[in-house]
Amino acid sequence: MKKLTFALFVALAVTLGWSGASAPIFAETVAPTQVVQKQGTIEHMKTVRVDVDGNSVTIFDTWFNLTTGQERYDDFYYYSTTKEMNGRTSMSTAYSSLFERTAKQYENKSVWKSIGTVEVNGIQVELLKGNGEPKGDPVYYLAYIDRSTGLPLKEEAYNSSNEVMTAYFYFFDHVHDLTGEIFKQTK
């Protein structure tokens, strides 16, 4: 548990200190997609992946422009054993809302089964159990889905001893890219 606490501390410190974007962006709370499309804002999803053994933290940032279909994906890795940090950025085009695509992943009934509802930080969440690797780790996943948005708050990967191997924490918001820097191609 100490390793998870340390890894989560590192993840939050890195997350708060590095946004993945060099441009000034302003976050808002999650709003319905149809309202956001009219305002020309960008969907942003941050995922923090923490290995319970404390050896690595990965931060994924994804931005999607609802108007143009442009999508930017940044990842940043930190390995505690080697003190190595690295990251990369890629650009692509998508044809549907990032938030809708993310929520849809958890609607696949052949992968995810509802096992009840719980409250997390005052939010009603649906607890889903997902299939893992039948002959290896992770054996299964638990996902905590915000019932009001359909978006994940947290996902945990479990090994064959029913221990958490990896935890994923999700953060969603809308941003305004006032300078156009988020989707600017760098050479």
Return the pLDDT at 40: 59
**Is residue 18 within 8 Å of residue 74, measured between CB atoms?**
no
CATH of the domain at 21: 2.50.20
Domain span including residue 45: 2-177
Both structure tokens of 23: 């441009």
- Residue 167 forms beta bridges with which residues? 50, 156
152-155: long-range pairs with CB below 8 Å, 24+ = 152/102, 152/106, 153/120, 153/123, 153/125, 154/120
How far apart CA 153 and CA 24 sit, in angstroms, is: 25
Q: How many CB atoms lie within 10 A of CB 115?
A: 11
Return the pLDDT at 123: 85
Residue 184 lies in a domain: no
Return the pLDDT at 104: 96
Residue 82 lies in a domain: yes
Residue 187 lies in a domain: no
Residue 58 lies in a domain: yes
Return the pLDDT at 187: 57
Alpha helices in 50-165 (DSSP H): 98-105
Return the pLDDT at 128: 96
Residue 182 lies in a domain: no
Total domain count for the chain? 1
What are the mean pLDDT values of the chain's consecutive 10-residue runs (187 residues total)? 45 42 40 45 94 88 93 90 84 94 94 93 92 80 94 94 94 87 77
Residue 183 lies in a domain: no
Return the pLDDT at 8: 45
pTM tops 0.85 = no
